Structure 1
Amino acid sequence: MRLSIFLEPQQGATYEDQLAVARATEDLGFDGLSRSDHYLHMGDHVSGLPGPTDAWITLAGLARDTSRIRLGTLMTAATFRHPGPLAIAVAQVDRMSGGRVEFGFGAGWFEQEHAAYGIPFPASARERFDRYEEQLDIITGLWSTPVGETFRYEGRHYRLAEGPALPKPQQGPRPPVVIGGTGPKRTPRLAARFADEYNVPFCSVEETAAAFGRTAEAVRSAGRAAPMVYSAAQVLCVGRDEAEVARRAERIGREVSDLRRDGLAGTPDEVVDKIGRFAAAGAERMYLQVLDMADLDHLELVASAVAPRLD
């Protein structure tokens, strides 16, 4: 089981806050660090101060300030950026990191943040997914076009003239593409076509297993030979005893009972057991959502008391 740390910086974090977590993540032996791609905080228990940080600018900095961990997004919103410039940015960060980028990519969903920063937001989910599918086609197409050849695309929403399809990422043929969500039809089909990893966020073990099954069936139906990595994301709240669990839950504005039901919460024994159930459902990787970035002892506890006990 691979463990990655997952941050939500829109809730309130500077670059320095994120760098401190990234360095701890690297020093403690975790596999990677991913961050959300949002421009507005969520929930009434946080202010969001000092304000949002851009995901790919942040990852460019972390690419130079770390040396080993994988770096990525869960998930970059297709509504935020045009596919051509996004392909350039991700390829550049991949090169800056020495080939450590993982490209988590989603359709976009949080309408309020689009309104807050003047970003167009297609009203219908169908149009957002149509645009998202075209962007996946374009970004992976740009990366896979051989050097010296040009890329052209004629879609309903995007049209690219003969372009150089540069720069190329360091990883060949491309950085791993991560697609997530629990949509019953279109998401599994897109994952089977484009993704190297399929992620289920914040669902029960049973719901996660069902979503894995739908995507595995889409992979089989597509006749795909390439392997798929299956992963899950869960909020983290681990403590050495009940009092420490309660303190950590209070810091993030959550109830312990809710976290035990809907996340990875409790003592190390409890968390090891639940991760084991996700592994039995098919998860090969867990993204641990850390909402209190100042609590680096939380990461140390997982590294020392949870990670060594996982297969």
Structure 2
Amino acid sequence: MAKESSHAVRAGLHRVVVIVDENSNPFELGCATEVFGLPRPELGRDLYDFRLCAAEPSTVMRDGFFTLTGVAELEEADEADTLIVPNRPDVEVPRRPVVLDAIRRAHARGARLIGFCSGAFTMAEAGVLDGRRATAHWQWADSFRTRFPSVRLEPDVLFVDDGDILTAAGSAAALDLGLHVVRRDYGAEIANAVSRRLVFAAHRDGGQRQFVERPMPNLPDESLAPVLDWANERLDSPLTVAALAARAAVSPATLHRRFQAQLGTTPLRWLTGERLALACRLIERGETRFEVVARRSGLGTAANLRALMRRETGVTPSAYQRRFGPEAK
């Protein structure tokens, strides 16, 4: 009866269920809980109905660090709108058949599936990744390709959004993918609020590289932070790569190298991503004139705004407005 009451209290919310299996990694479980499971009093509403489930009453976590008890039975996965599949440190150890069956059932009925890090191996074992795009941690790319040749592996990106199946590369990329999902479900403004509470970067594009040559610069004056802050304050200006390079007092070629080394992307791609994120926030805040949105975000014209939004988010500005604008809230 208590279980039914809990369900009733959170009725109507998108239900996210995490399967916890033996030797699951606690970090990814923590990422899922932080993004999808916490109350959101700062927003005045909760975003998701979050549950944990497992095949057994007690589950030994990675390397025996601790044992997890008191979570729902595996059947809870059959009620998930989004199902997060279990990962594990040893990718050669198969998942239990009951867990793979739960994933297959969720996929068959149209639930969204998410795999963090080695979770891609779990989904591939279940057969739901055949012919689909996915990513996995770079150190397991060769093993993954050998075992699952029918999966279209993209080994050098943070995460892959293939519609109803999403995968993140490494542990920290679980947060990137989680925030991407919140952005997809609730818009950029809500995702930014969640990222602020996490004290985490609001947006790293999924196409950025997993491994950057030098995540922390050796010399303080090589940090991109000052030029990034400067550019973010001037997104409505006609910024160019040359202008960014001039501000950083380096050549465009050097700027490109620093962006690749520190951010795993190019200056132009970063700039376009920041402008598109600003455009989304403007629409969410109620700006209905798309030519104004395009101008204030530095995207130039409404036509360019439409083309970029369709390419990057899969929807038009009008569709985004209907879904995330003030009237939709």
TM > 0.5 fold call: no
> Which structure shows the bigger proportion of residues in strand conformation?
1
Q: TM-score range by the shorter chain?
A: 0.3 to 0.5
> Which structure shows the bigger proportion of residues in helix conformation?
2
TM-score normalised by the chain length of structure 2: 0.32
TM-score normalised by the chain length of structure 1: 0.33
